[in-house]
Amino acid sequence: MSHGQAALAMAPPSPGLRTLQRALELVAVLGVLAHALFLPISMAGMQIGLAFAAGALVALRLCGRRVWARSALDLPCLLLVGAAVASLALGALAGSPPVGWHEATLWRSILSPVVLLSALEVTRNGAGLDGSIPGGGGARPGEEGAGAANRLALLALGVWAAASLLPSVLAWVQYWSGLDPLFALGLRREPVRAVVPVFPGRYAAVGFFRWYQRLAHNLLPPLCVAAALAARGGMGSRLRLLLGGASLAAAAAIVLTLSRMAWASLVMAALLLAVFAAPARLRRWAVALAVAGSVAMTLHPGVRVRLENLAQPGINHDREDIWKICRAVVEQYPLTGVGFGNLPRRTAAYYDRLSYPLPRAWCHNSFFTARAEGGPLLFAALVAFWALLLRGFWRWRRSGRDDLAQAASTGALAALLAMLANSLAHDILYSSEAMYGLGFALAVAAALARGGQASGGRAAAPRPAASTSGARTA
């Protein structure tokens, strides 16, 4: 690059370009907030909000802004997406081409945390929407942008918390009546009522989604981050009250979904948060409350019936048949798999041989499904996905310099472990509601964790200006 080109690259943008960049920054932020608002309510709404955020980031990059927030989220997400796309090519070579555009692109929700984090941090390091940290006087370079990213992340989580109260309240109505509000409003042709065969007269809560597991998996990850911040995060009392109240309401809604693995993962997350998120002086009380809440959950008649039903012989015969079909697919395509998203259609002949009707599905175990659809490559990528994310947030938790960063990292760890547990019984990679819920929780937690490192938070010791930017953007 010549000296003239270098000088041009370093020159500040023109007023017109700067105005355009500010407008695109605002679109990115509003896209994140719209995504947060619709996340527990509407699949279409959450996707539209995310699309606006992604589009604004692309436009900003075309305008010369560096917008990619490099973080520990990148490698696991890109590895898994890359393996999913590669499995489609390998499956096609083995005689199993993609069965449809929708199925072949179900991996797109895996990228949501990368997009959301970049949109939350688009104002870091001198962007137009930043500002000084309240009460922080004498901010160092990069501190204003880090403070803005923190505030935007907390605002997005607050929007989610307020919106989550709607399906949380609806869950109680649905448990007793099976009401489908979308059908009642004429937005669905047929009502969605999750009848519980072993518990007649009651219904599993589905919220505004199409099945009860989707509601449970959608609410659980943001719940973990919100609860961790409410327990320890450095923020205003009103926001802590909102996050705490929304967490409790969402937890009750998850119980009313009558999803057994969701119950187990909820208890596990509650105990993890009680041990690692609560202040040391209150840890014993937090653990006691988590245990008491878990015991109280078993007093619910629906929970007792569902748990007692586990002991009945043949209760999981449908899962056993699905696993047999998945084993047959693995034996037929041991190295390539049938391609990401292809399994339900590629196994039609196997299901037709069963003596009873069973909806075609994935393997009800994310790792088993990855092995059947992508062979060893996709299986290894999925293992790396969980391991790298857990390692990244564990490191952020250890290096976090304020309560906000440590609490957010702890909440993300609880969310990851809870969803990892759910993935052992459900195919969450193919449920956009679940993956968008997890992606939102990870992006918010990462923004807060990185903000604590970049700005040093309230408890940070002074650091040289060259190191205060924390994580770079690209």
Three-state SS across the chain? Answer: CCHHHHHHHHCCCCHHHHHHHHHHHHHHHHHHHHHHHHCCCCHHHHHHHHHHHHHHHHHHHHCCCCCCECCCCHHHHHHHHHHHHHHHHHHHHCCCCCCCHHHHCHHHHHHHHHHHHHHHCCCCCCCCCCCCCCCCCCCCCCHHHHHHHHHHHHHHHHHHHHHHHHHHHHHHHHHHHCCCHHHHCCCCCCCCCEECCCCCCCEECCCCCCCHHHHHHHHHHHHHHHHHHHHHCCCCHHHHHHHHHHHHHHHHHHHHCCCHHHHHHHHHHHHHHHHHCCCHHHHHHHHHHHHHHHHHHHCCHHHHHHHHHHHCCCCCHHHHHHHHHHHHHHHHCCCCCCCCCCHHHHCHHHHHCCCCCCCCCCCCCHHHHHHHHHHHHHHHHHHHHHHHHHHHHHHHHHHCCCHHHHHHHHHHHHHHHHHHHHHCCCCHHHCHHHHHHHHHHHHHHHHHHHHHHHHCCCCCCCCCHHHCCCCCEC
Residues 134-193 have pLDDT tens digits of: 333 334 444 455 577 788 999 999 999 999 999 999 999 999 999 999 999 998 899 998
What the block records as the tokens of 41 is 């309510």
Other beta carbons within 10 Å of 29: 22
> How far is 270 from 268, CA to CA, in rounded Å?
5
- The answer to whether 372 and 329 are in contact (CB under 8 A) is yes
> How far is 332 from 356, CA to CA, in rounded Å?
24
- The answer to whether 206 and 175 are in contact (CB under 8 A) is no
Question: Of 296, 359, 361, 389, nearest to 75 (Cα)?
Answer: 389
Please state the φ and ψ torsions of residue 98, each to the nearest 5 degrees. -55, 140
What the block records as the tokens of 117 is 């984090």
User: How far is CA 352 from its chain centroid?
Assistant: 35
Instruction: Confirm whether pTM is higher than 0.85.
Output: yes
Predicted confidence at residue 136, as pLDDT, reads 36
What percentage of the chain has pLDDT greater than the value 70?
85
Question: Of 244, 229, 242, nearest to 162 (Cα)?
Answer: 242
Positions in the chain short of pLDDT 50: 1, 4-10, 125-143, 454-474
Burial class (CB in 10 A: 0-12, 13-18, 19+), 70: middle
> How far is 211 from 189, CA to CA, in rounded Å?
15
> How far is 458 from 135, CA to CA, in rounded Å?
10
Predicted confidence at residue 240, as pLDDT, reads 92
- The answer to whether 373 and 89 are in contact (CB under 8 A) is no
Predicted confidence at residue 140, as pLDDT, reads 43
